[in-house]
Amino acid sequence: MNSNNTSLMDFNPLDTNTLHSETTKAIDFIAKYYNDVEKYPVRCPLEPGYLRGLVSDCPPSLPESVDKIIENIGTKIVPGLTHWQSPNFFAYFPASASNAGLLGEILCAGLNVVGFNWISSPAATELEVIVMDWMAKLLNLPQEFLFSGGGGGVMHGSACEALVCTLAAARDQALAKHGFEKIIKLVVYGSDQTHFSFHKAAKLVGIPPQNIRVLPTSSSQNFELSPLVLKTAIEADIAQGLVPLYVCATVGTTSSTSVDPIHGLGLVARAYGAWVHVDAAYAGNACICPEYRHYLDGVELVDSISMNPHKWLLTNHDCSCLWLKNPKTLVDSLSTKPEILRNKATDLGDVIDYKDWQIALSRRFRALKLWIVISRCGSANLIAHIRSDIELAKYFESLIKQDTRFELVVPRKFALVCFRVRPVGVDASGNVMNQKLLEDINSSGEAYMTHAMLGGTFAIRCAIGASLTEKNHIDKLWNLIQDKATKRVAAYTMH
pLDDT at position 377 over 50: yes
Query: Sorting pLDDT into bands at 50, 70 and 90, what band is 222?
Result: very high
Q: pLDDT for 88-100, tens place per residue?
A: 999 999 999 999 9
Distances from the Cα of 236 to the Cαs of 63, 202, 230, 241, 375, in angstroms?
A: 65, 20, 10, 9, 50
Look at residue 347 in the predicted model and tell me its pLDDT.
82
Sign of CA dihedral 130, 131, 136, 139: positive
Look at residue 7 in the predicted model and tell me its pLDDT.
58
Q: What's the mean pLDDT in 83-87?
A: 97
CA–CA distance, 268 with 187 (Å, rounded to integer): 15
CA–CA distance, 247 with 476 (Å, rounded to integer): 42
List helix spans (H) across 260-326. 262-271, 309-312
Q: pLDDT for 389-399, tens place per residue?
A: 999 999 999 99
Domain ranges of the chain: 3-83, 103-374
pLDDT at position 208 over 50: yes
Look at residue 488 in the predicted model and tell me its pLDDT.
86
Look at residue 117 in the predicted model and tell me its pLDDT.
87
Q: What's the mean pLDDT in 421-443?
A: 91
- The string of DSSP codes covering 441-453 is HHHTSS-B-EEEE
Amino acid at 273: G
- What one-character DSSP code corresponds to residue 65? P
pLDDT at position 166 over 60: yes
Look at residue 348 in the predicted model and tell me its pLDDT.
81
Q: 417 with 464: CB under 8 angstroms?
A: yes
Amino acid at 400: I
Query: Sorting pLDDT into bands at 50, 70 and 90, what band is 2?
Result: very low
Q: What's the mean pLDDT in 286-294?
A: 98
Q: Percent of the chain at pLDDT above 70?
A: 98
CA–CA distance, 307 with 414 (Å, rounded to integer): 15
Query: Sorting pLDDT into bands at 50, 70 and 90, what band is 3?
Result: very low
Q: What's the mean pLDDT in 252-257?
A: 96
Q: What's the mean pLDDT in 482-495?
A: 83
Q: Examine domains 3-83 and 103-374 and report if their fold is the same.
A: no
List helix spans (H) across 139-271. 159-178, 197-204, 227-239, 262-271
Query: Sorting pLDDT into bands at 50, 70 and 90, what band is 494?
Result: low
CATH T-level assignment (fold) for domain 103-374: Aspartate Aminotransferase; domain 2 (3.40.640)
Mean pLDDT of the chain: 94
Q: What's the mean pLDDT in 270-281?
A: 97
> How many other β-carbons are positioned within 10 Å of the β-carbon of residue 297?
12
Q: What's the mean pLDDT in 62-77?
A: 94
Question: Taking the mean position of all CA atoms in its chain, how far away is CA 113?
Answer: 24
Q: What's the mean pLDDT in 104-120?
A: 91
Q: pLDDT for 314-366, tens place per residue?
A: 999 999 999 999 999 999 999 888 888 888 877 888 888 999 999 988 899 99
CATH T-level assignment (fold) for domain 3-83: dopa decarboxylase, N-terminal domain (1.20.1340)
pLDDT at position 4 over 60: no
In the three-class reduction of DSSP (H, G, I as helix; E, B as strand; rest coil), residue 96 is classed as: coil
